[in-house]
Structure 1
Amino acid sequence: MRLVRSILLLVCCGGAWACNLTVAYSDTAAPPYLVGDGATVPDQPGIAVELVNLAAAAIQCKVSWERLPGRRVLRAVEYGEVDAMLMFSYSEERAAYAVYPMLDGKPDSRLRLAALQYHVYTVTGSPLTWDGKQFAPPPGVLGVNSGYSVGVDLRKAGFTVEEARTTEQNLQKLRLKRIAAYVMQDAPADLAIETQGIQDVRKLPIPYSSKDYFLPFSKISYVQTPGLAERLWESIAKVRRTHIKALLHKYSDTP
């Protein structure tokens, strides 16, 4: 039905766009790549949204955006309610219903939207350390944001993980010592700490991990629109190379 609606729209509108895509992304900010909270897409939506808009326009595609809670984004892709989802790293669980750009059986880093680092945050005075391979002493409960793949990684490594919906909620739990540490992408976590003037939380210097983030397509949409995902991913790679410096500068002072 989505394919039929797209064809009818093109016929009715005189073919102004070669294709129309619906892309979902989180309703929680992760600046500078996703800016603003809630269902509204702001005028300055973030680097990732702008990259996809530019890449889609280059291949004559129009993007309609939907902002949803993180787990709802995943379900919308799984059930084919949207064509793709923005800024998701690869996981085997997601690959069961979403298509990533792959090369030799692995996600193709060349076609990423961004590469982001996860860091470990503790309260000031905590003895917890991370050397890039292990924690010392063994941690208690680790906090993560709901739906983030790092939670799966930590559980696979044998750690006890507790989820909260937002960065602010996890930082509050950390400061109340309800979790031993918070593992999160450093850009949004650092911004929240700075914005709130938090003085009693510190970031451990060695990243827990670094992940590439992509625009995975729903398997349903991928089958219905042969070749479209590949063309868009290639366009994203080109636009990222030519526009990323300007976009980073544009959002360097975005609250």
Structure 2
Amino acid sequence: MHYLFLILVMFLNPIAAHASSIKTIKLAYSDIESFPFQMGNGTSVAKPPGLSIDILEHAATTLNVNIEYIRLPGKRVLHHMKANQVDGGFIFSYNQKRAKYADYPVKDGQVDSTLRIATLDYFFYKLKEQEVKWDGTKLESVGNRPVGAHNGFSIINKLKKNEISTLEMESTDQLFAMLKKRRIAAVAIQSNIADSYIKENELSNIEKITPPISTKYYYLIFSHKFTKENPELVQKMWKAIGKIRDEIIARNMKTYLSESN
């Protein structure tokens, strides 16, 4: 009996050791929705949670890592990271002030945008037959009609600074319906939302106007302490994100479009 007990202990020990070796990363993000990358408002993780969490969960699974999510007001996310109360946070664009206490993926001394978790770029979309011109600062359109945009999205402030009149709407369906009726000159919208919507609805008479209105890359960032203690894991997380990001966004975007319509 004693011999059998020893064999059982030897058999179970590797399993127990493997289970205890699973790393848990504590990540914080804003308690305010940022469609489609962070969904819902408040302290709980929404269902569906947002594309950024879809990407993080897939990356974590490939690395056999668990993630504990904490939602906080934006400034407190950064405060918690500086105080090492969380291991990292998302989604954040690069700036030098944050880089003093947070690590970004870097290559050749520059932030490596290929390892970003999200791109938020906004473009104007118009009907092909409509006369609309955009030079990066000034928008010219026949009839001086307003531009449609999602209610509450950050691009509204950019348009107002450029003295472009806007008409805010709740859904992507409403925006493109108004464009079809020629009630608006163009739609100012995130390209990942618009491109997926146009493809899904086979809207062959709509085209994207270049240059973009704005473009920013956003990242998963880690505290200096966590990076120092887990350098290999940090690099693997960033690389996993870069590898699977576009696939996850293409696959899951439809879910979020249906939520907004």
- Secondary structure of the residue aligned to 1:30 is coil
Equivalent residue, structure 2, for 1:98? 102
* Aligned: 1:56 with 2:87: no
Partner of 1:214: 219
What are the residue-to-residue correspondences of 1:93-172 with 2, within 5 Å? 93-117=97-121, 131-132=135-136, 167=152
- Give, in angstroms, the shift of residue 169 of structure 1: 11
Match of 2:232 in 1: 227
- Shift, 1:238, TM fit: 1.8
> For residue 153 of structure 1, what is the aligned residue in structure 2?
none
Contact 1:170–1:182 under 8 Å retained in 2 = no
CA drift of 1:170 comes to 10
SS at match of 1:52: helix
Deviation at 1:118, TM superposition (A): 5.3
Q: Which amino acid aligns with 2:110?
A: K
Please identify which structure carries the higher strand content: 2
Task: Identify if the C-alpha distance between structure 1 residues 105 and 28 changes in structure 2 by more than 3 Å, giving closer, same or farther.
Answer: same
8 A Cα contact 1:32 1:254, kept in partner: no
| 2:23 paired residue number | 19
State the identity as a percent.
31
TM-superposition CA deviations, 1:175-234 (whole Å, max 9, x none): xxxx99269xxxxx99x7325x89999866764431111101111111121211101011
The 1:96–1:247 alpha-carbon spacing in structure 2 relative to 1, beyond 3 Å, is: same
What does residue 194 of structure 1 align with?
A: 170
Separation (CA, whole Å) in 2 of partners of 1:98 and 1:61: 21
The residue aligned with 1:161 is none
The CA deviation string for residues 6-45 of structure 1, in whole angstroms up to 9 with x for no partner, is xxxxx9x754252110000010101111110011102210
Query: Cα RMSD between the aligned structures?
Result: 3.6
Report the TM-score, using the length of structure 1 for normalisation.
0.64
Partner of residue 34, structure 2: 30
Q: CA deviation at 1:110?
A: 1.1
Q: 2:79 aligns with which of 75, 81, 86?
A: 75
Per-residue CA shift, 1:119-167, capped at 9, x if unaligned? 79xxxxxxxx9842x579xxxxxxxxxxxxxxxxxxxxxxxxxxxxx94
State the distance in 2 between where 1:208 and 1:168 align. Answer: 13
Q: Verify the 8 A CA contact 2:54 2:248 in the aligned structure 1.
A: no
* Residue 109 of structure 1: how far off its partner (Å): 1.3
- Counterpart residue number, 2:10: none
Cα distance between partner residues in 1 of 2:94 and 2:82: 15
For the residue of structure 2 that corresponds to 1:216, the secondary structure is: strand
Matched residue count: 194
Return the TM-score normalized by structure 2: 0.63
Which structure 2 segments of 5+ residues have no match?
1-13, 125-132, 140-150, 189-208
Given that residues 92 and 221 in structure 2 are in contact (C-alpha distance below 8 angstroms), is that contact kept between their aligned partners in structure 1?
yes
Q: What is the rounded CA distance, in whole Å, between the counterparts of 2:114 and 2:159 in structure 1?
A: 36
**SS of alignment partner, residue 215 of structure 1:** strand
Q: Secondary structure at the match of 1:213?
A: strand
